[in-house]
Amino acid sequence: MARKAKATVEGKFLIVSHGDPGYRVYAGAFDGKDQSLTLPPAQEVAADKRWLDIPAFARDVQQKVLDIRNDDIVPMPSPVRVDEKYNLDPTQRGIAERIALTEWPFPNYLVEAVRIYDLLGPGGITPDNVKVTRDYCKIEHRLMLMAARDLENGHARPRPPVIDLLNTAIREIEAL
């Protein structure tokens, strides 16, 4: 008969983190309701101590896959951050983060922001007289879309329609 894994910890709040790339997701049931715990990479999350009774979670604690500690202070959530390798300006970074955080289906304005290259006209002038050039699309806008795709792929459950939208936009920009 297999033994049930159990980890114990003392203190006010259970703080959990892990150093692996990508998200870790655990499922359990408390008080007759299904629950899930999503742990982003390299971020501390406050968790209910009842997770220590969930075998997969307890196993990962015992195997030191998860780092746990107790604290009297709950950590502030870390915001989604675009990798600095993309060298985006604050507006582009904000759009990439909004893509990662907005529920699907996206509002029209966000789809239009992803597909800004659709506005390219003669001389690169958009209907609103905002200059969008082929070079901007091929270099800066493409990098922003790649950053958004990386953020989306970092989700616990990447959303296929969002990945498809971003991949299609990147391919179409590369074909310009």
On whether the CB atoms of residues 17 and 45 are closer than 8 A, the answer is yes
Which two three-digit tokens encode residue 18?
């892990």
Any idea where the domains of the chain sit in the sequence?
13-71, 84-174
Residue-wise pLDDT tens digits, 122-176 = 766 667 676 788 888 999 999 999 999 998 887 656 789 999 999 999 999 998 8
The Cα–Cα gap between 131 and 142 comes to 16
Percent of the chain whose pLDDT exceeds 90? 35
On whether the CB atoms of residues 103 and 123 are closer than 8 A, the answer is no
